[in-house]
């Protein structure tokens, strides 16, 4: 056995999660999210049209890896009698095992990320999600104010 060689590299797709406006899909343990696949749906008949505002992969702030998506309403065609648009998300996750059986956690936090997490500072994914929610709130307030 040669130390450092990989016996197994796993690429998995997380479960697809559908929800109104926001959805998050998580990777299996000991894997890291490398990409997210997202869609925002609405037909304008039963469900309002939606705009995909965020599609991102990473750490959700709890150490859990996965993908997150945020869909906002289309203000031009918005009808308050219709349901909110639906968003779908899945994450592509990767993990590895060395020949000696050691699991390589690709998502292990760097020292700077450890300090950030310990201090309670939001992760990049959390900051992006908050920004998407803020944009959505502005869009909704403008629609409510519309004559």
What parts of the chain have a pLDDT lower than 70?
A: 1-7, 105-124, 143-147
CA distance 38 to 31: 19
Residue range of the domain that includes 56: 6-145
What local confidence, expressed as pLDDT, does residue 2 receive? Answer: 45
Looking at residue 110, what is its pLDDT? Answer: 46
Number of domains present in the structure of the chain: 1
> What digits encode the pLDDT tens for the residues 51-69?
898 898 888 777 788 888 9
- Helices and strands counted in the chain (H then E): 2, 8
Check residue 59 and report its DSSP letter.
E
pLDDT at 17: 80
- Please indicate, yes or no, whether the overall pTM of this predicted structure exceeds 0.75: no
* Within a domain: 31: yes
Specify if 1 maps to a domain: no
Q: Is residue 80 part of a domain?
A: yes
Within a domain: 84: yes
Q: Confirm whether 19 is domain-assigned.
A: yes
Pairing of strands 65-73, 32-41: unpaired
What are the CA-CA distances from residue 131 to residues 75, 101, 118, 138 (Å)?
A: 18, 41, 22, 11
End-to-end CA distance of the chain: give it in Å, rounded: 73
């Amino acid at each position: 056995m040669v130390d450092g060689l990989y016996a197994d590299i796993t690429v998995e797709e997380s479960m697809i999660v559908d929800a109104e406006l926001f959805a998050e899909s998580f990777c299996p343990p000991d894997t890291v999210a490398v990409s997210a696949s997202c869609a925002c749906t609405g037909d304008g008949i039963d469900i309002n049209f939606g705009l995909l505002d965020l599609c991102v992969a990473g750490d959700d702030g709890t150490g859990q890896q996965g993908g997150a998506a945020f869909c906002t309403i289309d203000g031009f065609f918005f009808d308050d009698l219709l349901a909110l648009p639906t968003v779908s998300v899945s994450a592509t996750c990767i993990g590895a095992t060395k020949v000696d059986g050691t699991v390589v956690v690709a998502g292990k936090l760097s020292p700077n990320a450890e300090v950030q997490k310990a201090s309670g500072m939001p992760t990049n994914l959390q900051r992006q999600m908050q920004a998407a929610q803020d944009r959505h709130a502005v869009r909704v307030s403008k629609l409510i104010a519309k004559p």
